[in-house]
Structures are given as structure tokens and as C-alpha cells.
Amino acid sequence: MSEIFKTIARYQYTTEAQIIKGRLEAEGIEVFLKDHLTIDTDPLVSNAIGGVKLQVLAKDAMKAQHILSTINQYSLDDDGNQIECPNCGSGKVDLFSTITDFKSFFAFLIGFVSGTLPFHTRYKYKCETCKTEFTKEDIKPKKPISSQ
Ligand SMILES: [Zn+2]
């Protein structure tokens, strides 16, 4: 059996693995998760057993790894769609917290207490291509209404 299935990625959490699974299946690749039931039962065991294994058929492994390499390190929204830069349309977008040190945490706290800073600005996206920073609210809806 070991030559039929190939583990191409490991994830600490099942939700993460599920998102990637959805992406690969959208490309027509059959995906199998291993050990996710164990981890869902007891998340603390995840590290001990090496996380949720994402497996594909050996014949799909190269294609799957290629897809992973293009999507894995960049941000996905809650539906597993890749987040694109509102400025240049690049998919190379990183999610980062704006609270990176004590100073920014303090600034956040002041803003939060005084009500000038909305809660969601704790997190921002940054485009690697054009270096634009944006929040979730700046992202245009993915499905434009066609006006033909
Ligand atoms: Zn950009």
C-alpha cells in the first residue's frame, strides 16, 4: 500500500488540511487525510503522531506538490479561496498581525480602549509583489456581477 499513497504534507490542525484538500480536489486530485480523526478527538496528540497527513495517489503526487508549492505559503480566506492583492491582483499575500512588538500592542490597546481602532485591524495582509498592505475589508468580492 505504501507505494500507492504518498504523504505530501502534514498539518497540525484538521481545518488547515481540509482547506488544502479542497484546493487539490478542485484540481481533480483525490486526497486522503490520515490521522485527522485521532487529532480531532485529542488535539494535543497532534505533534506526537506527526500531525494530519495529507495523502494523494502516487501518480498525482508531483502535480499535487506543484499546486501546494503555489498556494501553501500564502493566505487563504475562510472558504479556502486564495486572497489576492486589491492593488495588483497578485496571490502572493501574507497575513500578519499588526501587533509585532510591545509598542504596537500598546498603541493597539489605546485605540481599542478609546474606540478609535476597530478590532479587525489587528490583522493585515501584505502583498509580496507590490508591498501593498490591506485589510480584509479592502478585498473586492470575488464574483463580480456581470453587466452584459
Ligand atoms: Zn500587490
Residues 38 and 49: their CA atoms lie apart, in Å, by: 9
pLDDT tens digits for 12-69? 778 778 888 888 898 899 999 988 878 677 777 777 778 889 999 999 999 998 888 7
Return the half-sphere exposure (C-beta side, CA atoms, 13 A cut-off) of residue 50: 9
Ligand 1: centre distance to CA 69 (Å): 19
The answer to whether the beta carbons of residues 139 and 86 sit under 8 Å apart is yes
Q: Provide the H-helix boundaries in the chain.
A: 14-26, 36-41, 61-71, 102-114
Ligand 1: centre distance to CA 88 (Å): 4
pLDDT tens digits for 83-130? 888 899 888 877 766 555 666 666 666 666 666 655 444 567 888 889
- What pTM does this model have? 0.48
Ligand 1: centre distance to CA 89 (Å): 6
